[in-house]
């Protein structure tokens, strides 16, 4: 997973965070959570406890980094502190919602007052938890948000001539032919289809399939890309030399 914080001159400083080897973290369908928390001790504690609970977790330590990660990566849930440096949590949330990002957001703040709660909900928060709190309550609230999201999330991701069936972990061609996918193939294709036309690097794709044991410099991603091409068509996934891969939603139009 990737942890980011704002660097000088408007840039971002990112590093890879190794996931725990705990057996509870090896499930095939992990929920990916973005935690945006500037308190280093609390942030790392939340990251550790959520990973132990079976989630995949990315950590940002300021508003600029959190807004960037939330806007450029796919997350199933977000835990967002309001009192952030660089950019307030409310502004982060407003920008996500303005960009039509519908990720469920649990707002986390020490300012546990009704005015703050009202502003958070107006900005698009889905739930609210005031500090201090017990991790068990946070865990239960996140589970409830995940269940709610599952009930309202579309079951299919569409590309011209290709439908990714999320419920049955398979891909359907324009002729109606259904092909089963492995867990990694499914997550990899979903990541590509969520950003058609965008160049995604091997590192971005490796992080998206949540396999911490994958060496980003190895050819593992290339192997799975080739498997997907055999299942959905060679022209669907285009290689950009030295950059990464692109999902071509319309293979009739050359990339």
Domain spans of the chain?
2-152, 156-247
How far is 15 from 57, CA to CA, in rounded Å? 13
Q: Is the model's pLDDT at 226 over the cut of 70?
A: yes
Q: Is the model's pLDDT at 160 over the cut of 70?
A: no
Q: Rounded to 5, what percent of the chain is helix, strand, coil?
A: 40, 25, 35
CATH code for the domain defined by 2-152: 3.40.50.2300
Structure tokens at 104: 């469920």
For the question of whether the overall pTM of this predicted structure is more than 0.75, the answer is no
User: Which residue matches tokens 């790392």?
Assistant: 44
> Mind listing the pLDDT tens digit for each residue in 103-152?
899 998 765 566 777 788 888 888 888 888 888 888 888 888 887 766 54
> Mind listing the pLDDT tens digit for each residue in 86-117?
999 999 999 999 988 888 999 987 655 667 77
How far is 53 from 149, CA to CA, in rounded Å? 19
How far is 156 from 236, CA to CA, in rounded Å? 17
- CATH for the 156-247 domain, from 3.40.50.261, 3.30.450.70, 1.10.10.10, 3.40.50.300: 1.10.10.10
pLDDT at 217: 53
Strands across the sheet containing 170-173:
156-159, 162-165, 170-173, 178-180
Under 8 Å between Cβ of 82 and 111: yes
> Mind listing the pLDDT tens digit for each residue in 33-72?
999 999 999 999 999 999 888 888 999 999 999 999 999 9
Q: Is the model's pLDDT at 12 over the cut of 50?
A: no
Structure tokens at 184: 């990694």
Nearby residues of 147 by Cβ (< 8 Å), 6 or more positions away: none
């Amino acid at each position: 997973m990737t942890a980011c914080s704002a660097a000088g001159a408007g840039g971002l400083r990112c590093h890879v965070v190794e996931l725990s080897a705990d057996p509870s973290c090896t499930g095939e369908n992990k929920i990916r959570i973005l935690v945006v928390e500037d308190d280093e001790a609390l942030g790392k504690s939340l990251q550790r406890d959520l990973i132990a609970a079976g989630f995949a977790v990315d950590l940002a330590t300021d508003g600029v980094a959190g807004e960037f990660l939330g806007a450029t990566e796919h997350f199933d849930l977000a835990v967002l502190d309001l009192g952030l440096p660089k950019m307030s949590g409310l502004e982060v949330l407003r920008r996500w919602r303005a960009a039509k990002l519908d990720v469920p957001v649990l707002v986390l703040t020490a300012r546990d007052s009704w005015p703050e709660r009202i502003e958070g909900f107006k900005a698009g928060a889905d739930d609210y938890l005031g500090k201090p709190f017990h991790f068990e309550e946070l865990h239960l609230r996140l589970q409830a948000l995940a269940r709610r999201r599952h009930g309202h999330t579309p079951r299919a991701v569409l590309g011209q001539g290709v439908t990714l069936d999320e419920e049955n972990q398979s891909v359907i061609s324009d002729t109606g032919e259904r092909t089963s996918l492995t867990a990694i193939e499914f997550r990899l294709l979903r990541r590509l289809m969520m950003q058609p036309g965008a160049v995604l690097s091997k590192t971005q794709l490796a992080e998206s399939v949540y396999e911490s044991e994958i060496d980003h410099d190895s050819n593992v991603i290339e192997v799975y890309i080739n498997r997907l091409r055999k299942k959905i068509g060679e022209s669907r996934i285009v290689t950009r030399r030295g950059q990464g891969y692109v999902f071509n939603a319309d293979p009739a139009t050359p990339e």
